[in-house]
A and B are shown apart, each in its own frame.
Chain A
Amino acid sequence: MLEKTKVLALIGIIAILGNWVGYDVSPIKALPGMILIVLFTIIGLGLNTLIPKMPAVVWISLIALIATTPIFPGNEWIVEKTGEINFMALATPILAYAGLSLGKDLESFKKLGWRIVVISLVVYTGTFLFATLFAEIVFKLQGRF
């Protein structure tokens, strides 16, 4: 847990610096928001060890969600501070680590046949397209847009 906390803090710092370069938010301005985000994550992880039936990501979403709803004391301040962190800036380090882990699957990837490569493209297209299409149909039926 301590190890995870340190890693989370480190990624938080990387994201704050990325947020500075990419979105012009000074690290000092971004720091409180990032501390809150790390805190939500740690609380979520803690709850996950207590009640592991629910996935960690669900716990973490729930904690962050509750802390930013109007019923939670100080929610306006929390929303304002976490709002300083651009969600794209926080996603960039994730993809960087994903890139660095890529090489380990390259050997197995080379051994795959062409069929499975084609099908995986079809599968990703299918899930994206159908979810979009179904959502769009419902919105259209409801006359939303």
Chain B
Amino acid sequence: MLKDWKLHIIVLVFVLIGEAIGVKQFNLGVGTIALFPMLYVLIMGGIVSFPKLKWLNEGQMKKAAGILGISFLLFVAKLGSMLGPSLPKIFDAGVSLAVQEVGHVLGTIIIGLPIALLIGMKREAIGATFSIDREPNLAIISEKYGADSPEGRGALGVYICGTVFGAIYLAMLAGFLGSLGIFHPISLAMGAGVGSGSMMAAASGALAVTFPNDAEDIALFAAAANLISTILGTYLCVFFSLPVTARLYEWLEPKIGRTRKEAAK
């Protein structure tokens, strides 16, 4: 991985350019959109890896994904070093932290499943909406239904979407919701602690840009929420989210599901 100098040099150049541009905020009237270095480098990287340009080969892209996983560990260590001195503050918000995890788990199902059925998805809906479908969730669904089942395809579809635009979308959403002034920055930070590395980084980054005075607290509570999701995530998925989604599907599908000859891909 160290030998992939091309990748590392591109990343270094992009990081320097991105940090030099810095934060830009655009007012949309109702709220603001925050643009910041993480998003610039993500987009620049996406352009370079565009298959038609043939600047990077498949192997290099896979390596980049591997290094992404390792680089996230440093981010985790940094966030951990912010947690230590703030433990009293975190315990103080303990109830909220516990309850927000319920929100993370239920949030995908409550609005995801009915909408999936209304637009005509069949059993794919179970895989697509039982979680945010990152790697651990994919493993759970393929173990239960098989990777090639409708449920497995639904989960994989959301996984692919997440890789392609999850981080950008969550950053936009977090920044926008933050700028509306409905929610407190700390509540939003917990929302940003979703169980995916780049999504959490981008969403908490957008919040830190929107609320510069609360940047430290935002990182802190996003990290705490993410840690809870990581620890409990697998268990919640196996014993709660997946069975509940499957049950709800059986109950809701005859009521609001649309009849189609061919199930949605």
Contact = CB atoms under 8 A, between A and B. Distances in A.
Contacts of B70: 4, 7-8, 11
B132 A124 contact: yes
Interface residues of A, number: 98
A47 B65 CA distance: 23
Contacts of A73: none
Report whether over half of chain B's contact residues are helix, strand or loop; otherwise say mixed: helix
Contact of A87 (B78, B186, B265): B78
B44 A55 contact: no
Contacts of A91: 38, 75, 201-202, 205
Interface stretch (B10-18, B25-33, B248-256): B10-18
Contacts, number: 406
Given A8-B73, A97-B64, A21 B81 contact: no
B169 interface: yes
B50 A64 contact: no
Q: Which 9 A-B pairs have the closest CB atoms?
A: A99-B45, A68-B84, A64-B80, A130-B107, A22-B19, A103-B49, A132-B191, A134-B103, A120-B161
22 contacts: A21-B15, A22-B18, A37-B74, A41-B73, A61-B79, A63-B80, A64-B78, A64-B79, A88-B36, A96-B18, A98-B45, A99-B43, A101-B163, A102-B45, A106-B50, A115-B116, A116-B128, A120-B162, A121-B161, A124-B194, A132-B183, A135-B191
Given A94-B68, A128-B107, 11 more contacts: A10-B8, A18-B37, A22-B18, A95-B202, A101-B62, A102-B61, A106-B51, A113-B264, A119-B158, A124-B169, A128-B177
